[in-house]
Amino acid sequence: MAISLDDPKKLKPLASQAHQVAMNMLRPISRKYDRAEHAYPTELDMLAAMIDGLSESGASEGAGAAGVRRDEKPEGKEKGTKNGANLASVMSIAEMCWGDVGLLLSMPRQGLGNSAIASVANDEQSERFAGVWAGMAITEPGVGSDSANIKTTAVLDGDEYVINGEKIYVTSGDRADHIVVWATLDRELGRAAIKSFVVAKGTPGMRVERLEHKLGIRASDTAAIIFENCRVPKENLLGSPEIDTKQGFAGAMATFDNTRPLVASMAVGCAKAALDLTRDLLTQAGVEIDYDRPAHVQSAAAAKFLQMEADWEGARLLMMQAAWMADNREPNSLEASMAKAKAGRVGSDITLSCVELCGSVGFSEGELLEKWARDSKILDIFEGTQQIQQLIIARRILGLSSAELK
């Protein structure tokens, strides 16, 4: 079977448009909002309106947050493969993060909660929540990467669920107009009882406790949110309210099959920005990078750069594979974790190495290299840390359960 490693032709115009936006709209304000932490980037409102227009016209082909749905087959499956919204999303997001990761994460109506809605919601919910800006609240104090240990509870009381608990590190937690909250219906039933709920901003019993001060992605607001007897309509439970102990955590985890390739694409884009600038700075310094000669006969700086490019290409291909599998409704949990693990690690390695290669220029605020090094670190942490991804990968390859391999 022949495998094409080229970007799909029909998606290249979208990626090109995203690159132009990154270069002309995001890069010029990147440093401004890095310094003005928690200030809302008002320039993004016009960009969000443009993306909404593309989506309504059908021309976006995945400009926003797409979902992974296993219960339907892509159109034209009998004719071959499909390059659709998930692949388009990772390609366009990578280009946008070439501009600025924090600003991409601040885009209205493109939150990680939107991906959760797209992945888990039924048809009625998908229509009802169309156009919302949804953050996603998973992490709790003492409950980081082990999402199955969630303590926040949701108790059915008549036609409403009553939610109690605390969530931390919620991206867009203050700016988003809705929050997708992960909570358990019954702690004794473990991970099978964990469901996600859509909570509108301003709902009584929900409050933003604080905004975090962060190393990177400072343009993006990261909030701690308290839920005290917060009542939400039972129709806002995403997907089925039934607790299926056989399915376990699979329903909730399907969200990650989509969001992990998206985070991988953020790392790929940020690392590409660092590589592009470093290549230019090395060239200006007289360092020649020769692709026709072995690395070991070139300068140490050139050899290091060639190794970084190879690592970056591996991460990019894993990202593309995971997204392509989602478009074709193929189970991609293993590939999504592989892409996220590789891109997260490579992204941090590349951006820090680029700072090192460029010396004092890389370390100063005269260039954006130091900022990209700060921004990229979170991409190896959120949506499942490097260590958790490796654990998931090991379980999938060895065929072991979470109880068998901890």
Beta bridge partners, 153, equal 164, 184
Tokens linked to 294: 């072995």
Does the pLDDT of residue 282 top 90, yes or no?
Answer: yes
Residue 147's pLDDT is what?
73
Cα–Cα distance measured from residue 372 to residue 316, given in angstroms and rounded to the nearest whole number: 18
Q: Where are the alpha helices (DSSP H) in 58-190?
A: 85-99, 101-105, 112-120, 123-128
DSSP 237: B
Q: What angle do CA 67, 391, 271 make, to 5 degrees?
A: 60
Q: Given the structure tokens 């926003």, which residue do they identify?
A: 64
Q: What are phi and psi of 397, to 5 degrees?
A: -70, -40
Indicate the range of 98-102, 136-140, 203-207 predicted with least confidence.
136-140
217: left (phi over 0), alpha (psi -120 to 50) or beta: left
Ranges assigned E (strand) in 188-265: 194-200, 206-211, 222-233
Does the pLDDT of residue 53 top 70, yes or no?
Answer: no
Residue 63's pLDDT is what?
39
pTM value is 0.92
Does the pLDDT of residue 64 top 70, yes or no?
Answer: no
The CATH number fitting domain 250-398, selected from 3.30.70.100, 1.20.140.10, 3.30.565.10, 2.40.160.20: 1.20.140.10
Cα–Cα distance measured from residue 163 to residue 229, given in angstroms and rounded to the nearest whole number: 6
Residue 250's pLDDT is what?
59
SS3 category, 174: coil
As annotated, the active-site residues are: 383
Ranges assigned E (strand) in 220-344: 222-233
Cα–Cα distance measured from residue 187 to residue 150, given in angstroms and rounded to the nearest whole number: 8
Q: For the chain, count helices (H), then strands (E).
A: 13, 7
Tokens linked to 331: 């189970």
Q: Given the structure tokens 């940020």, which residue do they identify?
A: 270
Q: Given the structure tokens 């654990």, which residue do they identify?
A: 391
Tokens linked to 144: 């980081």
Cα–Cα distance measured from residue 8 to residue 171, given in angstroms and rounded to the nearest whole number: 31
Check residues 139 and 61 and name the one with the higher pLDDT. Answer: 139
Q: What separation in angstroms does the CA of 279 have from each of 98, 99, 127, 131, 237?
A: 15, 17, 46, 40, 49
Tokens linked to 74: 């892509």
Indicate the range of 91-105, 252-266, 376-390 predicted with least confidence.
252-266
- 9-125 is classed CATH 1.10.540.10: yes
The CATH number fitting domain 132-236, selected from 3.30.43.10, 2.40.110.10, 3.40.30.10, 2.60.40.3500: 2.40.110.10
CB 101 within 8 A of CB 263: no
> If you average pLDDT over residues 100-123, what whole number do you get?
90
In Å, how far from its chain's centre is CA 229? 30
Cα–Cα distance measured from residue 129 to residue 90, given in angstroms and rounded to the nearest whole number: 22
CB atoms within 10 A of CB 364: 12
Torsion from C-alpha of 390, 393, 399, 405, nearest 10 degrees? 20
CB 324 within 8 A of CB 83: yes
Residue 396's pLDDT is what?
94
Cα–Cα distance measured from residue 39 to residue 209, given in angstroms and rounded to the nearest whole number: 17
Residue 62's pLDDT is what?
42
> What is the overall mean pLDDT for the chain?
90
SS3 category, 154: strand
Beta bridge partners, 155, equal 162
Residue 83's pLDDT is what?
82
> If you average pLDDT over residues 27-43, what whole number do you get?
96
> If you average pLDDT over residues 292-307, what whole number do you get?
97
**For the segment 188-228, what is each residue's pLDDT rounded down to a tens digit?**
887 889 999 999 999 999 999 999 999 999 999 999 999 99
Listed residue (204, 211, 210) closest to 227, CA to CA: 204
Residue 61's pLDDT is what?
47
Cα–Cα distance measured from residue 33 to residue 119, given in angstroms and rounded to the nearest whole number: 31
SS3 category, 179: strand
Tokens linked to 307: 């190794």
Does the pLDDT of residue 342 top 80, yes or no?
Answer: yes
Domain assignments of the chain as residue spans, ordered by start: 9-125, 132-236, 250-398
**For the segment 317-337, what is each residue's pLDDT rounded down to a tens digit?**
999 999 999 999 899 999 999
